[in-house]
Amino acid sequence: MKDYKEIFERLYNNYGPQNWWPADTKFEIAVGAILTQNTMWRNVVLSIKNLENAGLLEPYRMYITPIEKLSYLIKPSGFPKLKAMRLKNFLAFFSNFSFDFDKLEKFETRDLYGMLLTVNGIGHETASSILLYIFNRPIFVYDAYFKRMVSRLGIDSTEIEKSFNDAKVLGEFHALIVQHSKMHCRSKPICRMCPLIDICEYGEQNV
């Protein structure tokens, strides 16, 4: 019987703690969550470094920065004009709360999730990342890596939050799945030596 607790334990024992989200501030997490859309994390790191060097990893300073400059700095993440506009949209929303995450903290998870989704450019995955990693709400990030893994394992993708009601564990699990997807569960999978091979329907048929 496959279950998420066993999958988590196997991935954790194989890869160790991932210490996500890799950021120094809550605002940096939000920026990274927006920039990582449709790109590799290593590209986001380059953009974050550019913003840090320019002194723009502070919400108000980024808010007043011309979009052309912002686009140039985040170019490594791809779609620079589009993502710069998405950052600006988030900052316009954030300005209503004086750029203070503590003022957003008071909202119930469901309400805050809905509020984030009203921001043009923030979808379900990005909103979930913000809720999980900034506000420590027990919401899982149902990204492409997770969907691909569970489809191959042959397991119900809706059961994960029933297995874990802990934001720290859900964040660690999400990070482990990302790492696993880089190492083994790629678009063209490398099933050899996969720590989940014996419980994976796809792997058992293709090794």
Separation between Cα atoms, residue 40 and residue 207, nearest integer Å:
28
The single-letter code of the amino acid at 171 is: G
Separation between Cα atoms, residue 49 and residue 57, nearest integer Å:
9
Half-sphere exposure of 207 (CA within 13 A, CB side): 15
Residue-level pLDDT at 163:
86
Separation between Cα atoms, residue 37 and residue 183, nearest integer Å:
20
Domain 26-133 has CATH 1.10.340.30: yes
Residue-level pLDDT at 165:
85
Residue-level pLDDT at 1:
54
Helix locations, the chain, DSSP H: 4-15, 26-35, 41-53, 59-63, 67-73, 80-95, 101-105, 109-117, 124-133, 144-153, 160-163, 167-183, 201-206
Pick among 1.10.238.10, 1.10.1670.10, 1.10.760.10, 3.10.330.10: CATH of 4-19+141-206: 1.10.1670.10
For residue 184, the SS3 value is coil
Domain ranges of the chain: 4-19+141-206, 26-133
CB 50 within 8 A of CB 74: yes
The single-letter code of the amino acid at 90 is: F
Q: What is the Rg, in whole angstroms, of the alpha carbon atoms belonging to the chain?
A: 18
Question: CA 90 → CA 85, 110, 147, 165, 197, distances in Å?
Answer: 9, 18, 26, 28, 41
Burial of 167: CB neighbours in 10 Å, binned 0-12, 13-18, 19+: middle
Residue-level pLDDT at 156:
82
**The token pair that represents 40 in the structure block:** 């590799």
Residuewise pLDDT in 10s, the chain (207 residues): 578 999 999 999 999 999 899 999 999 999 999 999 999 999 999 999 999 999 999 999 999 999 999 999 999 999 999 999 999 999 999 999 999 999 999 999 999 999 999 999 999 999 999 999 999 999 999 999 999 999 999 988 877 888 888 999 999 999 999 999 999 999 999 999 999 999 999 877 776
